[in-house]
Amino acid sequence: MEQQLELANRLKEEYYKQLKKTQMIVKECQQDADEARQAKENVVKYRKMQQNREDEKRALEASNRELRRKITEMEKKLADVTMLLEEERKNTENFQWQLERKNTRNRFLRRELDAAEEEASRERSKVRKLQREVEDLTEANEAFLRLTSMRM
């Protein structure tokens, strides 16, 4: 019986050892399962983040395309405006040149007019002088005629 008791004790010890090993294995399996669940959650989070990044990337690419299109459009408008400004500058230079020509012509005509007015003024003075001389001569002639008619 002692042998049986010893055998039972050994079996009991073996059973407890196996139980401890099994419990450790179960605990390790639970830890592994927890780690696997955590890893799975991390993978899901990573995929979700990756999808969000992809969505953001697509949105940014679309925005960049739109901005490039607008830049191209604005560059065309800038080129058009620059061309118009250049034409306006040339027109302005042409108008300034024409204005300068007209001003030069006006100054020339003004000098000619001033000279003509001076000449006209001199001529009017001569006419007035001649009119006075004619009046004086007419008076002298009338006086002479009166004098001659009295003598006769």
pLDDT tens, 59-113? 999 999 999 999 999 999 999 999 999 999 999 999 999 999 999 999 999 999 9
What pLDDT, on the 0 to 100 scale, is given for residue 149?
86
pLDDT tens, 47-57? 999 999 999 99
pLDDT tens, 111-149? 999 999 999 999 999 999 999 999 999 999 999 988 888
pLDDT tens, 26-39? 999 999 999 999 99
Q: pTM for the complete prediction? A: 0.48
- Using pLDDT thresholds of 50, 70 and 90, give the confidence band for residue 152: low
What pLDDT, on the 0 to 100 scale, is given for residue 11?
86
Show the 3-state SS of the chain.
CHHHHHHHHHHHHHHHHHHHHHHHHHHHHHHHHHHHHHHHHHHHHHHHHHHHHHHHHHHHHHHHHHHHHHHHHHHHHHHHHHHHHHHHHHHHHHHHHHHHHHHHHHHHHHHHHHHHHHHHHHHHHHHHHHHHHHHHHHHHHHHHHHHHHHHC
What pLDDT, on the 0 to 100 scale, is given for residue 19?
92
Q: Is the pLDDT of residue 4 over 90?
A: no
What pLDDT, on the 0 to 100 scale, is given for residue 5?
85
